[in-house]
A and B are shown apart, each in its own frame.
Chain A
Amino acid sequence: MTHLSPDTLRAYQDGELPAATQAAAKTHLTECAACRTQLAEVDTRAAQVAAHLALLAPGPADQPRPAHQLFYQFTRKEREPMFKKLFARSLRPMWAGLAVVVALSIALCFPAVRTMASTFLGFFRVEKIRVVEFDPANLDRYSSYSGEKIEQIFSNNFTTTGGGEAQTVTNPAEAAQLAGFMPRLPTALSAEKTELSVTPASQSTFVVDRAVMQAVLDEMGRTDLRLPESIDGKNVIIAVPATVAAAYGDCATAPAYDPDEPVAEVSDCTTLAQLPSPTITTPPGLDLAELGTIMLEFLGMEQADAVRFSQTVDWSTTLVVPMPMTSYANYTEVAVDHTEGILVNNRYNAFESYTLLWVKDNRVYALMGSGTSAEALEIANSLQ
């Protein structure tokens, strides 16, 4: 038998050669000192590398939670498809990206929350944003509810005019002409690889059918939450001004996931969407605080806490964003652009990405990209 190559010796070392070859190699080694020396070298190197890599192994404190706990968490994620879509790389260039829609999508992704959102969101012009945390597990009690009825409420009672596809423009002046305001752009990002677009303004009208909505709550088991009669038949008009979106870097839609494709670079796309604060008009006399309290209770807050929180919020000027407490996303209140904002960090898809939301001088801004909080703030603070 000819001498054994290092490759063969390596497999031999692991006992992974085909049985006959393994036996033959063993025999050869008893007769060949050169190959034994080679084997010792291979062995030593393998052991040294293994020793280094062994440092990475999980220790006693690093063991995962039991399988059934992880599985449960997994099945709960199945009910959070909108979160995943919201943070997916391919959605990041949000051409129709209305800043308010981003915040509301977080709230509206749970069919259960839409009922409440549709009633309370009517009542403000966004001047500030405030986050209220909730435990997604609190919504598990609604999991058997199919949500079809809620979809129906929206398709029957919701009409939109205007809006439509975003229109690409070549420069900020053109954007200003279409949108009706001059966009502020980050000087921290290169103007070379920018794409500007304008989404036309839209107006939506929602007619509240109190009986149907109460029936939905009742069916979901929340007979304790009573919607006030005063909201019935009311027209809620949501006016969303034109939005300017600026995309920087490589924002092409990500291809479908393929485990065999070469390792992709971290996404290089940053988008800034801005629009004058949406306004929502509704007949006066509606108790916003009461509806807001109901929403909070729906999310699982104790009534006493909900009432207390509700009293600290000016519901007519504040966009309250329900933020689910998950292991893959967290938020911080940050100082940005000489005001206060919300920074959401997300690591759901193993890339660190952020959404930074703030309101300045009655304009709502949403900055989305991949990278750290520091990068996000640097970009946001460079707006001019």
Chain B
Amino acid sequence: MIVAVEKSRAAAPPSESAFETAFYEHYARIYGVLFRLVGDRAEAEDLTLETFWKLWERAPRRADNLGGWLYRVAMRLGYNALRAARRRQQYEETAGRAALTHTAPLPPEPAVEQQEERERVRAVLRRLPPRSAQLLILRQSGLAYTEIAAALGVAPTSVGSLLARAEQAFETLYRSLYPND
């Protein structure tokens, strides 16, 4: 029985090491973009693992654009989480969270204002079209135009104009939501 187990290990798929390489190469930045969307370390880690889990289960046929595929999956998961968070917030406000959810300890006072600022930025992102929000996050995370193009499935030459428009939309929306800021 033990022997049989070792044999099956030797026959493991050759792509395992390729997967590991992809993991170590991309995980930090994937985490970075996801954190920007959800703002919580544990959740960002979970979503990062979820992203790579999908790679493990359903790797794209073409391995040349692995980074782009990963970012696309991550943005999908992250953006959904961003929007799900809004519903959670709404219900928690009406129902009261106390005994029902695991509440993180309250942050210290000075950090609360910073947290509110972040929530305002996320509130704007949530209301933008998905692609615009994702574009802004990817750019802020330091991705080059070609990488952004791969992640969003657009032509690299169009990234400049998409970015300009997304920034315009962000600014307009922010001003209308928070005129006193």
Contact partner of A350 among B2, B36, B81, CB < 8 A?
A: B81
B46 CB, min distance to chain A CBs, angstroms: 5
Whether B36 pairs with A56 at a CB distance below 8 angstroms is yes
A351 to B81 Cα, complex, angstroms: 6
B134 CB, min distance to chain A CBs, angstroms: 10
B158 CB, min distance to chain A CBs, angstroms: 9
Given A16-B159, A219-B1, residue A64 in contact with residue B91 (CB < 8 A)? no
Whether A257 pairs with B144 at a CB distance below 8 angstroms is no
Total chain B interface residues with beta-carbon distance under 8 A: 77
Whether A146 pairs with B160 at a CB distance below 8 angstroms is no
Whether A332 pairs with B100 at a CB distance below 8 angstroms is yes
List of B residues within 8 angstroms of A16 by Cβ = 144-145, 159-160
Contact partner of B140 among A5, A14, A50, CB < 8 A?
A: A50
Contact digits for A342-384, partner B, Cβ 8 Å, 1 yes 0 no: 0101011111100000000000000000011111011000000
Chain A, residue nearest B75 (CB)? A259
Whether B50 pairs with A62 at a CB distance below 8 angstroms is no
Given A49-B136, A70-B48, A266-B84, residue A257 in contact with residue B167 (CB < 8 A)? no
A315 CB, min distance to chain B CBs, angstroms: 28
Given A350-B47, A372-B101, residue A74 in contact with residue B23 (CB < 8 A)? yes
Q: How large is the interface on A (under 10, 10 to 19, 20 to 34, 35 or more residues)?
A: 35 or more
Whether B100 pairs with A263 at a CB distance below 8 angstroms is no
Contact digits for B164-181, partner A, Cβ 8 Å, 1 yes 0 no: 100110110010000000
A78 to B140 Cα, complex, angstroms: 32
Chain A, residue nearest B24 (CB)? A67
List of B residues within 8 angstroms of A288 by Cβ = none
B8 touches A (CB below 8 Å): yes
Chain B, residue nearest A47 (CB)? B167
Whether B87 pairs with A266 at a CB distance below 8 angstroms is yes
List of B residues within 8 angstroms of A264 by Cβ = 80
Given A7-B161, A53-B140, residue A62 in contact with residue B41 (CB < 8 A)? yes
Whether A64 pairs with B20 at a CB distance below 8 angstroms is no
Contact digits for B1-38, partner A, Cβ 8 Å, 1 yes 0 no: 11011001000000000001001100110011001110
Whether B46 pairs with A64 at a CB distance below 8 angstroms is no
A11 to B160 Cα, complex, angstroms: 5
Whether B49 pairs with A372 at a CB distance below 8 angstroms is no
List of A residues within 8 angstroms of B153 by Cβ = 260
B139 CB, min distance to chain A CBs, angstroms: 8
A57 touches B (CB below 8 Å): yes
A334 CB, min distance to chain B CBs, angstroms: 7
A26 touches B (CB below 8 Å): no
Chain A, residue nearest B120 (CB)? A52
B44 CB, min distance to chain A CBs, angstroms: 7
List of A residues within 8 angstroms of B121 by Cβ = 52-53, 55-56
Whether A374 pairs with B92 at a CB distance below 8 angstroms is yes
Whether B91 pairs with A49 at a CB distance below 8 angstroms is no
B63 touches A (CB below 8 Å): no
Contact digits for B116-149, partner A, Cβ 8 Å, 1 yes 0 no: 0110011010000010000011001000110000
Q: List 17 A-B contacts (CB under 8 A).
A: A14-B160, A17-B160, A45-B171, A53-B140, A55-B114, A58-B32, A64-B48, A67-B23, A71-B20, A146-B4, A259-B73, A266-B83, A328-B46, A332-B100, A347-B43, A350-B47, A352-B84
Which B positions have Cβ atoms within 8 angstroms of A? 1-2, 4-5, 8, 20, 23-24, 27-28, 31-32, 35-37, 39, 41-50, 52-54, 56, 58, 69, 72-73, 76-81, 83-84, 87-88, 91-92, 94-97, 99-102, 114, 117-118, 121-122, 124, 130, 136-137, 140, 144-145, 153, 159-161, 163-164, 167-168, 170-171, 174
Given contacts A56-B39, A263-B83, A372-B101, 10 further A-B contacts (CB under 8 A): A5-B161, A9-B164, A10-B161, A53-B140, A56-B36, A64-B44, A148-B4, A260-B72, A263-B76, A374-B92
